[in-house]
Amino acid sequence: MVLSAVEPRVFHSMQKIGFAEALDSIVASDPRYQRDAYVFLRDALDFTTKQQKKVRGATVRHVSGPELLGGVRQYALKEFGPLVMTVFDSWGIHSCEDIGNMVFNLIDAGIFGKTEEDSIEDFKNVYDFDEAFVKPFAPEKPAIAKPPVELPAPKSV
């Protein structure tokens, strides 16, 4: 999956459609996900490309589906900490597939770009949300207590 932010789509009347207008249209046609979820996704893509630029040392023009999902995970944990699942639930996001559906809604609206190789399948079962967003904040299980070491009895004086 390769994604990139693209210039706003130009329609027949030569009016550019911006991100806000695209979101109005997307949320009206697919109400599964809240508007704020799309804003977060755009910010997560920006975060991901900046992280990749640090690693690769060059401008990143495209991000794969699994790479974006890794960036979504890092950015969500950074932004929301242990409240990630609460925030995502309120936005209608429950799995990697939901992120993929949102990505393809943004592609269809001309906000994100894709290549011929890109597919919604790139977002299936990449990671489990509980493992990614709950487990990092779950208390560690206490170590199994070892039986006390028997100390020698004190010597009588």
* 7 against 63, higher pLDDT: 63
pLDDT tens, 111-120?
A: 999 988 899 9
Q: What is the average pLDDT across 4-27?
A: 64
Model pLDDT, residue 111: 92
Question: Whole-model pTM?
Answer: 0.78
User: What b/e readout covers 38-68, taking b as 16+ CB neighbours within 10 angstroms?
Assistant: bebbbebbebbbebbeeeeeeebeebbbebb
In this predicted structure, the answer to whether residue 105 has a pLDDT above a threshold of 60 is yes
Q: What is the pLDDT of residue 12?
A: 37
Residue 54 confidence (pLDDT) above 90 = no
Res. 10: pLDDT tops 70: no
Measured in degrees and rounded to the nearest 5, phi and psi for residue 108 equal: -60, -30
Taking only the tens place, the pLDDT of each residue in 114-148 is: 988 899 999 999 999 999 999 999 888 776 766 66
Q: Residue 30: what residue type?
A: D
Contacts of 96 (CB under 8 A, 6+ apart): 69, 123, 124, 125, 126, 127, 129
Which burial class, exposed, middle or buried, applies to 74 when counting CB atoms under 10 A from its CB (0-12, 13-18, 19+)? middle
Q: Rounded to an integer, what distance in angstroms lies between the CA atom of residue 85 and that of residue 82?
A: 8
47 against 8, higher pLDDT: 47
For the chain, domain boundaries = 4-137
